[in-house]
Amino acid sequence: MPLESEKITRKKRIDQQLKATGWLIVPYSEGMNIAALTNHAIEEFQTSNGPADYALVINGKMLGVLEAKKLEVGADNVLEQAKRYSKGACNTIGEWNEYHIPFLYSSNGELIDYLDGRNSKNLSRRIFSFHTPEAMETLFNANKEISFQWLKEKPINNAWLRPYQTEAIQAYENNLEDGKRLMLLAMATGTGKTFTTVNLVYRMLASGYAKRIMFLVDRKSLAAQAVTAFASFDTPRNIKFKDEYELYSQKFKKDDFDDEPYDPSVLPNSYLTNPDGTKTFLYICTIQRMAMNLYGKMGAFDDDEENEDDVEKLSIPSHAFDLIIADECHRGYTSKETNVWRNVLNHFDAVKVGLTATPASHTVAYFGKPIFNYPLQTAIDEGFLVDYDAVAINSEVLMNGAFLKEGEQVGMIDTQTGREQIDQLEDEREFTSTEIEEKITAPETNQKIIEELKKYTDEFEKETGRFPKTLIFASNDIAMISHADRLVSICKEVFNQGDDFVAKITGSPTVDRPLKKIKQFRNRPNPKIVVTVDMLSTGVDIPALEYIVFLRPVKSRILWEQMLGRGTRKCDDIGKTHFVIFDCFNGTLIKYFKNASYNFKIDPPGTDTITIKELIEKIYNNEDRKANAKRLSKRLHRIEKDMSGNARNKFKTYIPDGDMGQFAEKVSKFFDKYK
């Protein structure tokens, strides 16, 4: 294939891209009247340093210079020529750091690099497409210094913000002023990322730094939660956010919201396809929907849960938003998901902020290292989250599978009819953990696990007077061979508390109104037990959850930590002190992540059977001092949650103010220095 010349690259690629974004291409002529041009790209514009490939003029103002190279050259380092031509341009409207034209571009027809030369701290960046004339004029007229001055003069003083949430917002604003456009905030699940974001967004709108903001989430249930959180937020002017700024979302059903539903306004398509720099608004939507808006249904996620008829492919320019905040931005368990995430974010020329509890390598590669990190253990130590215990249940299945002997009974599923044929193995055979419940099922195993679980729930109910809200992760929800359906059926039989006591919540078409079911699980007495696969694995807020049961093999650290994060939230209404993890792979699931997981440091099942006195003796005798100090700290934190005022007064003799929680935190930090 012959190489493409620069002339061909310009005519075949760059000219077409300029025209597609609203530019009229005209040749340079000596003495031409620049003041009469409105949205024109002048070819071979003459400067004292040579001819620029294109000069971009808007309403008589020369605001951009573009240097083109042939396709094989690439766009890197070509900006140096654009800088030279900008410095050599005459009779322009101003000068910024020796540049006479403020906006600099370079392109090889496929890649575009861009630099705003007005601020010496600015760095060049890769953009998806050329700015439209309207976008360039908006960029030129924006005065960020006024916005930064507003942010400095208005301290972050919302009384409901926790100290670490204020620190997160301040870190973002400091980095923003330093010119960063890609930032990552890492905050443990349950520490209030959404509330932090609401405050951050309000300050961006109020300061004028950003007028058009998009908040991306990866589940429709999370979008509904976010809409409610933003709508109900009381601004410093003592009015609701939705009454001070335009708030839009994608289409919802009425029962997607809680008992006092907020009826959100659906974003008009024109806000996306024809951005207006005078409008100020927040748009909340799923990454799935935006991917379909940009690339159509074929270019979105395979496991898409977005099924509304109103989703359509749209022509959305790159300047549609000034700020994009991507919640749960760790998403990317497959390479396709990672690419969809990146493609959506790369499309827009905006400041981009990632929010996550579990920074993954691909997340850090995109956003950079976290500018702020509030880890799980710190949140537990400071009393904002609860800790956890681990229980191993013997299911005869390990993380790497099971070895079944000749003569053992198994269930073979007919995937066409769903009928189960009980049979005996003719010879010994090994099955992987994923094949079990997909190709075969051991009929008695699931029954025994649920019966064992019931022993724990009975004991819990006897001690506390309440049944623990329980979430069970099943292996699959595949038509005809659904492990989730089998578990729901067994739970209904074993617990015998009526049909509404147990529910399945997955993305399966057989689940009627899953968002409503999530809401019921969170707010209503029933269901007490929910079986899922991955729909409730991330982001969903159910504070009363106390038992998490793993019957699904997990080998992704990110997914594992997200699943566990469902249980960490406090729930003072029920006096929740901790949650319990049930490893139904004989403890091998926890062992698998023992060294890989850095947010959750889970003690092996059974390690908490020793008394506090014995723990103290082990620490005194220097037996695994750091680990035992952590266990002691956990015990003391739980005691603190149940301490009466009289107990605190008695402990004042031994610890400052009788504050057991603060003392527990000091114990943990003191022994951190030990290996």
Indicate which CATH number applies to the domain containing 600: 3.40.50.300
pLDDT reported for residue 634: 73
The boundaries of the domain holding residue 125 are: 6-141
Q: Would you say how long the chain is, in residues?
A: 675
* Mean pLDDT along residues 409-418: 46
pLDDT reported for residue 41: 96
Is 569 inside a domain boundary? yes
Examine the pLDDT at 6 and tell me if it is beyond 60: yes
Angle between helices 220-232 and 514-523 (to 10 degrees): 60
pLDDT tens, residue by residue, 441-466: 555 788 888 999 999 999 999 999 99
pLDDT reported for residue 256: 58
d(CA 557, CA 309): 35
- Based on the domain organization, do 393 and 376 belong to the same domain? no
Instruction: List CB contacts of 205: < 8 A, sequence separation 6 or more.
Output: 211, 213, 245, 280, 282
- Report the Cα 24 to chain-centroid distance in Å: 40
* Mean pLDDT along residues 72-89: 86
Is 85 inside a domain boundary? yes
pLDDT reported for residue 328: 76
Q: Nearest Cα to 57, choosing from 74, 77, 37?
A: 37
Examine the pLDDT at 418 and tell me if it is beyond 50: no
- Residue 507: how many CA atoms within 13 Å on its side-chain side? 15
Query: How many domains would you assign to the chain?
Result: 4
Is 30 inside a domain boundary? yes
d(CA 567, CA 593): 17
Is residue 421 very low, low, confident or very high in pLDDT (cuts 50, 70, 90)? very low
Q: Nearest Cα to 629, choosing from 660, 594, 674, 659?
A: 674
- Based on the domain organization, do 405 and 501 belong to the same domain? yes
- Coil, strand or helix: which one is 659? coil
Name the strand (E) or helix (H) holding 404: strand 402-404
Last residue of a domain, one of 553, 585, 609: 609
Indicate which CATH number applies to the domain containing 79: 3.90.1570.30
C-beta separation of 353 from 183 below 8 A: yes
Last residue of a domain, one of 141, 162, 193: 141
Is residue 512 very low, low, confident or very high in pLDDT (cuts 50, 70, 90)? confident
C-beta atoms surrounding 16 within 10 Å: 13
pLDDT tens, residue by residue, 81-140: 999 999 999 989 999 989 999 999 999 988 999 999 998 888 899 898 999 999 999 899
Name the strand (E) or helix (H) holding 523: helix 514-523
What does DSSP say about strands 529-532 and 469-473: parallel, antiparallel, or unpaired? Answer: parallel
Q: Enter the tokens of residue 337.
A: 């998901």
Task: Tell me whether residue 166 is exposed, middle or buried, using C-beta atoms within 10 angstroms of its C-beta: 0 to 12, 13 to 18, 19 or more.
Answer: middle
More confidently predicted of 262 and 652: 652
| Residue 511 β-bridge partners | none
Q: CA 600, 604, 606, 608 torsion: positive or negative?
A: negative
pLDDT tens, residue by residue, 562-594: 788 888 888 989 988 889 999 888 887 787 776
Examine the pLDDT at 606 and tell me if it is beyond 60: no
More confidently predicted of 172 and 385: 172
Is 167 inside a domain boundary? yes
Arithmetic mean of pLDDT over the chain = 83
Q: CA 169, 174, 176, 180 torsion: positive or negative?
A: negative
Is 432 inside a domain boundary? yes
Is 597 inside a domain boundary? yes
- Based on the domain organization, do 437 and 576 belong to the same domain? yes
Residue 47's region, left for phi above 0, alpha for psi from -120 to 50, else beta, is beta
- Based on the domain organization, do 599 and 467 belong to the same domain? yes
| Residue 471 β-bridge partners | 530, 548
d(CA 506, CA 528): 16
pTM score > 0.85 for this model?
no
pLDDT tens, residue by residue, 45-71: 999 999 999 999 999 999 999 999 888
- Based on the domain organization, do 136 and 153 belong to the same domain? no
pLDDT reported for residue 55: 96
Is 603 inside a domain boundary? yes
Q: Nearest Cα to 131, choosing from 60, 63, 211?
A: 63
d(CA 234, CA 245): 12
DSSP 99: B
pLDDT reported for residue 604: 56
More confidently predicted of 467 and 552: 467
- Based on the domain organization, do 618 and 482 belong to the same domain? no
- Based on the domain organization, do 276 and 156 belong to the same domain? yes
pLDDT tens, residue by residue, 531-542: 998 777 665 778
- Based on the domain organization, do 94 and 213 belong to the same domain? no
pLDDT reported for residue 235: 92
* Mean pLDDT along residues 207-224: 90
- Based on the domain organization, do 644 and 539 belong to the same domain? no
Last residue of a domain, one of 114, 141, 168: 141
- Based on the domain organization, do 129 and 165 belong to the same domain? no
Cα end-to-end span (Å), the chain: 61
SS3 for 146-200 is: HHHHHHHHCCCCCCCCCHHHHHHHHHHHHHHHCCCCEEEEEECCCCCHHHHHHHH
- Based on the domain organization, do 233 and 346 belong to the same domain? yes
Least confident of 146-160, 173-187, 497-511, 629-643: 629-643
d(CA 492, CA 489): 5
More confidently predicted of 378 and 480: 378
Is residue 425 very low, low, confident or very high in pLDDT (cuts 50, 70, 90)? very low
Residue whose token pair is 């005996």: 424
Is residue 642 very low, low, confident or very high in pLDDT (cuts 50, 70, 90)? low
- Coil, strand or helix: which one is 137? helix
C-beta separation of 601 from 377 below 8 A: yes
- Based on the domain organization, do 443 and 566 belong to the same domain? yes
Q: Enter the tokens of residue 231.
A: 């709508």
Residue whose token pair is 């008009």: 268
d(CA 641, CA 637): 7
Is 1 inside a domain boundary? no
